[in-house]
Amino acid sequence: MPYSAEIIVVGCGNILFADDGFGPEVIKALGEYSKENPLPDNVMLIDAGTGGPHFVFSLPHEEWKKMIVVDVVQFDAEPGTVRKFSVDEIPKGSYENVHSWPVNQPLHDLADVCEVMVIGCKPEHISAPDVEMGLSKSVEDAIPKAIEMILKEIRG
């Protein structure tokens, strides 16, 4: 099993569709941060992109204690606002990736075997189906806040 760690941090999204790339960009920035400030050995960072979430969420590993999903989430806030969501706060059918695959059911199932949360950022602009590289300024500026929240969850 390639994803064997107690704490899994999974960045979801598509870097080709503007702010939808928030999750992968946070994983990239957290990887850079960890070069100077190593993360605990029980933590694994995964850039799951768009196709990976189904694979990751549907194949839980007995070693997993906590999964932190990083993604854009539509909620009532200013673009760039970052918030922690519990799985119970994500209504079934409302959380889908860019290809409209409902991923909240696998997350609810996964919550039966480990702690699951979503660090979500309100997007300013998702360009799909048009390709647009790069995050909006408000979402890019939210990356340090997301990293701060993730580190708090990792360190307990």
pLDDT value, residue 45: 94
**If the chain, 156 residues long, is cut into consecutive pieces of 10 residues, what is the mean pLDDT of each piece?**
83 93 96 96 90 64 89 91 88 49 68 89 93 96 98 93
- The pTM for the full model equals 0.88
Residue with tokens 């673009």: 79
d(CA 34, CA 90): 30
β-strand partners of 44: 8
Q: Are 106 and 54 contacting, i.e. CB atoms less than 8 angstroms apart?
A: yes
Given this model, what pLDDT does residue 51 score?
66
The tokens for 50 are: 């768009």
pLDDT at 98: 43
pLDDT for position 48 = 86
Per-residue confidence (pLDDT) for residue 61, from 0 to 100: 78
